[in-house]
Structure 1
Amino acid sequence: MKKTRSSISKLKYFNVIVFLIGVSSFQFAAAQSLEGYSWETLETNGDPVARHEAAFIEVENKFYLMGGRRIQDVSIFNPKTNTWTSGAKPPIEIHHFQGVTFKGNIYAIGAHTGEYPHEIPLKQAYVYNPKKDSWSTGFNMPEGRVRASTTANIYKDKLYIACGIIDGHWDGHVKWFDVYDFKTDKWTKLPDAPRFRDHATSVICNDKLYLLGGRVSSGKIKKVFELTVPEVDVYDFKTGKWSTLDKPVPTQRAGCTSICIGDKILFAGGESITQKTAHNEVECLDTKTGDWSTSPNLITGRHGTQLIWHKNQLYIASGCGQKGGRPELITIEKFSK
């Protein structure tokens, strides 16, 4: 039978709907299926360089552990073989940043360099090219708004950085929120976040940016670890406005990490004044209801690293096992069925 234009259009429309339902169902299934997961410490071929206040990022099925205090090799993990190899060192010390990827490159933006407690915010981005195993300098930070220990996320080909601190762990807290357009090479100032925070984490989930955890590091008044931030602040990209969730994070901490899976956000790791050992809690925010629940704890508490969601499995590596800067870890954990 010959198909009319009308029937073809209806068929295309039906296929699109089926596809979208399939994507949504997959995301829902992925989020719900975590109930049967557990953590394990992987046996690996080789070890990464021990570090913290670093990035842990996936590019084309390999994981890149980079930055942290001191100038160190990039550590590259192949999850197929559980093997660590080494990559190029950055040109300078880069730490306290939330790594992001864009078009195959990894960006370190809103980072510190130098020693505690007066670390210096870097005035430009540093870019690692995994294919070439090479570093280069990138665009400048927004004029007059240079700070570090920010959060960073990519949304629709633009880079968003929030909050941070100007003077290491000492003073100069800011609520600034800025967006960088890769196409125009320009920064735009956006509405300030509702509150100050550094050592925080942010994640984009369903067209909204969630700011979680962190603290107001205040060495000047001898309160570096004490002033943790409980509130979850949310920026809606559709309305261009900030709001604050009714329910704060269950466990206050800084140096934490987060990731979005379906409609859920996992919030993990960190450090606080309440304990010497780094936090191993993994807490789950349902973005649809605003409710929190608990997930299985990390085997080893750690702070100053990131989570990776890869082929329905969650990974975390390195970081620091206690409040402060020691001991730096070399273990990698996987959360799977």
Structure 2
Amino acid sequence: MHLSTAKLTMFAMSFVSVLAFANQLSGDSKTTEKSVWRQAPDLPIAMQEVYPAVFKERIVVGGGFTPSETPSFFGLGPTRDVYLLNPPTGRWQKKPSLPEPRHHLGMVSNRHYVYGIGGFTGNKDDAWQIQRTVFRLDGTFREWRKGPSLPIPLAESVYANVGKNIHVIGGKTVSKSTGKHVDSDAHFVLINNAYWRKAKPANILRSSAASAVIGDKIYVIGGRVTSADNKNVRDVEVYDVKKDTWTTVAPLPVASGGLSASVLDNKIIVSGGEVFGPNSNWRAGQAFKQVWSYDPVNDTWTSLHDMPTPRHGHGMVTLNNTLYVIGGAAKVGPQETLSSVIAIDTDSQ
């Protein structure tokens, strides 16, 4: 169910007033002004299945699926490439490459490091090899070094920084009994950049979810359930770091996997995602361009301006009151991988 009171007409990539989006965030959906999405600097290469992070006032992205001359999955392969965007310069810089190619590499930062966690390695025989390895890059941006390995292999998890500690929740792991990929409820916390500690597991087994942090709470949003024919879910769970407890809040209006989220003006903005067809057939699926805003005070979802094109496997970050949507793919699975980046600017006052 759409919670907005007016249908908003999209004018793709137009430069328009910030007021329209700000009014929507505040709950005023009476405005019908043009889309507030604008074009931001494109990535140097097309890249999907990315989890970008903000570190030292820069956006860091890498470790995704890119078009490859030695593909492991329908023309795509994992990459070592890492790029940084310093928004005032308007250009991406290539920075130290990862020690090895990855896709679905979970990037997340604290004050000291940006981390690249788990994800998949792959080759033409097996594109989906889940990893435990963790890499990290300090503020000199010179070299990725090994960090503390995860207790178990994990990929397609959600990643969050609360205080100075890094949280990794859910995703896919390898079954000890069958060796097959299964969804996980695991929850690990990286303490003092030194070791992983177990925290209370999630209530829902899922992968390809999105997450966002407001205060001391981590919101885990949507995703899909591998054991249920990759069925998408609407569920939203909230982890309270101080209480080590999980609670449930209002579900997403539409079930979606491969979506992304970030925080803007104390609201959680969720965009895109995809749904597979019957029997997990991605060719028969659909990618989404919908955008939603969640108000944690009122526990309500509101429909915002659609993105100009559908995206899944994209990343979202917020830096200096601007929300960026990075890369991804315009069609389900390995189709139409994107280099484009779009953004919304808004005054937080």
Alignment correspondent of 1:289: 298
Identity value in percent: 24
RMSD: 2.8
The question of 1:244 aligning with 2:248 is answered: yes
Match of residue 261, structure 1, among 253, 261, 264:
264
The question of 1:99 aligning with 2:103 is answered: no
C-alpha deviations, 1:275-321, integer Å up to 9, x for none? 74521111011101111101111112212232121222211121111
Q: 1:180 to 1:61 in 2, by over 3 A?
A: closer
Q: 1:118 to 1:317 in 2, by over 3 A?
A: closer
Letter in 2 for 1:56: P
Q: 1:60 to 1:31 in 2, by over 3 A?
A: farther
Q: 1:304 to 1:104 in 2, by over 3 A?
A: farther
The question of 1:73 aligning with 2:81 is answered: yes
| Residue 104 (structure 1) shift | 4.5
The question of 1:90 aligning with 2:88 is answered: no
Alignment correspondent of 1:40: 38
Q: State the TM-score, normalized to the length of structure 1.
A: 0.80
Alignment correspondent of 2:149: 140
Q: 1:298 to 1:34 in 2, by over 3 A?
A: farther
Q: 1:34 to 1:47 in 2, by over 3 A?
A: farther
Match of residue 232, structure 2, among 228, 234, 252:
228
| Residue 129 (structure 1) shift | 3.7
Counterparts of 2:28 and 2:121, CA distance in 1 = 37
Counterparts of 2:300 and 2:94, CA distance in 1 = 41
Alignment correspondent of 2:185: 175
SS at match of 1:99: strand
Whether the aligned pair in 1 keeps the contact of 2:63 and 2:103 (CA below 8 Å) is yes
Where structure 2 has 5 or more consecutive residues not aligned to the other structure, the ranges are: 1-21, 66-77, 278-283
C-alpha deviations, 1:149-189, integer Å up to 9, x for none? 11111112111111111249963221111212025x23222
Whether the aligned pair in 2 keeps the contact of 1:54 and 1:95 (CA below 8 Å) is yes
How many residues align? The count is 299
Q: State the TM-score, normalized to the length of structure 2.
A: 0.77
| Residue 190 (structure 1) shift | 1.8
Counterparts of 1:260 and 1:30, CA distance in 2 = 14
Where structure 1 has 5 or more consecutive residues not aligned to the other structure, the ranges are: 1-27
Whether the aligned pair in 1 keeps the contact of 2:56 and 2:139 (CA below 8 Å) is no
Alignment correspondent of 1:19: none
The question of 1:61 aligning with 2:57 is answered: yes
Whether the aligned pair in 2 keeps the contact of 1:110 and 1:161 (CA below 8 Å) is no
Q: 1:286 to 1:132 in 2, by over 3 A?
A: closer
Counterparts of 1:90 and 1:333, CA distance in 2 = 25
Structure whose residues are more often helix by fraction: 1
| Residue 118 (structure 1) shift | 6.1
| Residue 195 (structure 1) shift | 0.8
